[in-house]
Amino acid sequence: MTSLPDDAAGAVAVGWATVEFDRAAVELAHLLRPGSTFHEAPSSVILGARCRIGSAAEPSGLRMILLEPETEGRLAATLARAGEGWAATWYLDPGSDFRRRQSSVARPGPLGKERLLFGGLEGAHRLLVDGRTIAL
pLDDT in tens, 55-107: 999 877 899 999 999 999 999 999 999 999 999 999 998 876 656 678 888 89
Give the single-character DSSP code of 84: S
Other C-beta atoms within 10 Å of 132: how many? Answer: 10
Predicted local distance difference test score (pLDDT) of residue 77? 94
Residue type, 53: I
Q: pTM of this prediction?
A: 0.91
Predicted local distance difference test score (pLDDT) of residue 135? 60
**Cβ–Cβ < 8 Å for 98, 134:** no
pLDDT in tens, 13-42: 999 999 999 999 999 999 999 999 999 999
Predicted local distance difference test score (pLDDT) of residue 75? 96
Predicted local distance difference test score (pLDDT) of residue 104? 84
Is 93 or 112 the better-scoring residue by pLDDT?
A: 112
103-109: long-range contacts, CB 8 A cutoff, minimum separation 24: 103/128, 104/46, 106/130, 107/44, 107/45, 107/46, 108/42, 108/43, 108/44, 108/45, 109/42, 109/43, 109/44, 109/45, 109/46, 109/47, 109/51
In this structure, of 17-21, 39-43, 45-49, 128-132, the range with the lowest mean pLDDT score is: 128-132
Domain boundaries, the chain: 6-129
CATH of domain 6-129: 3.10.180.10
